[in-house]
């Protein structure tokens, strides 16, 4: 199926790489991957002795799988703040944007 799609250039014969990747996603990507990643994002927590850089790698992986990155910074920041340990949360500085 993939070979035929690739050889024919897709439905419009435009040989569009993005369309080909989308096609591969529809065939091989687990349709539940995003939902499961969102559930893991809700549950993920930074360990009390875990460095932020180590935790951030785990967080970014789940964020990428959840496809929430495109929802905007507010959503991502909300998930991140909820996942930080108490020490990191206490160190956060809230910036109030001027209107």
For residues 82 and 6, the model is more confident at 82
Helix (H, G, I), strand (E, B) or coil at 76: helix
pLDDT band at 1, cuts 50/70/90? low
Domain range list for the chain: 1-30, 33-91
Q: What's the pLDDT at 58?
A: 92
Backbone angles phi, psi at 9, to 5 degrees: 80, 15
Q: What is the pLDDT of residues 73-98, one digit of tens each?
A: 888 888 899 999 999 988 887 665 55
Q: What tens digit of pLDDT does each residue of 19-66 get?
A: 777 777 777 767 777 788 888 889 999 999 999 999 999 999 888 888
Nearest Cα to 1, choosing from 30, 24, 25?
24
CA angle at 70 for the pair 58 and 98, rounded to the nearest 5°: 100
Alpha carbon distances (Å) from 77 to 9, 21, 23, 26, 34: 40, 29, 31, 29, 18
């Amino acid at each position: 199926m993939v070979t035929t799609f690739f050889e024919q250039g897709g439905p419009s014969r435009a040989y569009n790489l993005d369309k080909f990747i989308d096609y591969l996603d529809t065939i091989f990507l687990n349709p539940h991957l995003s939902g499961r990643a969102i559930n893991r994002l809700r549950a993920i927590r930074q360990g009390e002795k875990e460095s932020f850089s180590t935790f951030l790698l785990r967080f970014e992986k789940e964020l990428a799988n959840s496809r929430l990155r495109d929802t905007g910074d507010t959503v991502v920041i909300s998930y991140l703040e909820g996942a930080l340990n108490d020490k990191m949360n206490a160190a956060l500085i809230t910036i109030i944007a001027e209107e």
